[in-house]
Amino acid sequence: MATTRRSVGLMGGTFDPIHTGHLVLAEDVRDMFGLDEVLFIPAAKPPHKGGVATVTAEQRYLMAELATASNPAFHVSRMELDRQGPSYSWLTVTELQERYGASTDFYFITGSDAINLLDEWHRAHDLLERCHFIVSVREGVPLDEARLARSFGSLATEHIHRLATPALEISSTDIRERLARGASIRYIVPDAVADYIYKEGLYQ
């Protein structure tokens, strides 16, 4: 009897805070590529420096849980929060392959700005061999196909897939700045996340 294959999308990031743009992209990818599940993986240590202080990792995790609770295909993983050492994507995918087994295909969801620098990632070639990438190509940030081809050869065309996404110009940085100056974030983040941020006085 043949084993049924599963497809799982991976969406990493600091989610500081998670917002509507993250959710729209994840659902668009899930629908277009027929994914069984999208796993949101908050990073352990946000790289932000200066400006408004970031919240705790536990608070970022909780906001991701609140944001995704209404979608049965969305789940949140603590794996990078609980892991000791750097949160390399290669290590995350390797651990997930061990957990899910050989019958699961993984699709790393990211933006064109990040994928253009894939050759600078830790063990990038090994990572690209282990999973596919679905790239959100936004206006003004074209896919650097020449650089990807030089770095990864045929893997670049076989494992990197582009997806035109809705023009939602939302960023976590902008949300933090809006909160710092007392501006509304309603409809930029899910209601449950906005309620939690206001209740806890985050970023303000």
Sign of CA dihedral 168, 12, 161, 4: negative
Torsion of CA 172, 160, 115, 179, to 10 degrees: 0
- In the structure encoding, which two tokens stand for residue 61, read together? 């995790």
In 3D space, the residue among 19, 21, 6, 29 whose CA is nearest the CA of residue 161 turns out to be 29
Q: For the segment 153-196, what is each residue's pLDDT rounded down to a tens digit?
A: 999 999 999 988 766 778 899 999 999 999 999 999 999 999 99
pLDDT in tens, the chain (204 residues): 557 899 999 999 999 999 999 999 999 999 999 999 999 999 986 444 444 456 899 999 999 999 999 999 999 999 999 987 778 899 999 999 999 999 999 999 998 989 999 999 999 999 999 999 999 987 788 899 999 999 999 999 999 999 887 667 788 999 999 999 999 999 999 999 999 999 999 998
Strand, coil or helix: 106: strand
Q: For the segment 102-116, what is each residue's pLDDT rounded down to a tens digit?
A: 999 999 999 898 999
Give one DSSP letter per residue of 9-49, joined into a string. EEEEE--TT--HHHHHHHHHHHHHHT-SEEEEEE-SS----
